[in-house]
A = this chain, B = another copy of it.
Amino acid sequence: MLMEDGKVYKIIEIVGSSPHSFDDAVRAAVKKAAESLKDLRIVEVVKFDGRIDGDEIVQYRARVKISFKLLDEND
């Protein structure tokens, strides 16, 4: 998980959502990213927002940036 020397990481931006909490929305984004990418390293929260219905937040959303290792061609 420590960034190795000479390695290059890519950062993608993702919006995760959850009906329960902002933390859950971040976890949803990470889970989704992990379905198609390997060696995820760091998730950074860019923004929290949510959709309201009546007087309740019905969807918690987290815009995050996730970094992962780009494989060398010789790996």
Taking beta carbons and an 8 Å cutoff, which residues of A are in contact with B?
1-3, 5-19, 21-23, 26-35, 40-45, 47-61, 63, 65-67, 70, 73
Q: How many copies does the complex hold?
A: 12
With A44-B47, A55-B34 as known contacts, state yes or no: A15 contacts B8, CB within 8 Å: yes
Interface of A is mostly: strand
Given contacts A47-B44, A51-B3, A53-B1, contact A16 B26 (CB under 8 A): no
Chain B nearest CB, measured from A6 CB (Å) = 6
Q: Which B residues are in CB contact (< 8 Å) with A19?
A: 5-6
The chain B residue with its CB closest to the CB of A4 is: B17
A49 to B1, CA, bound (A): 14
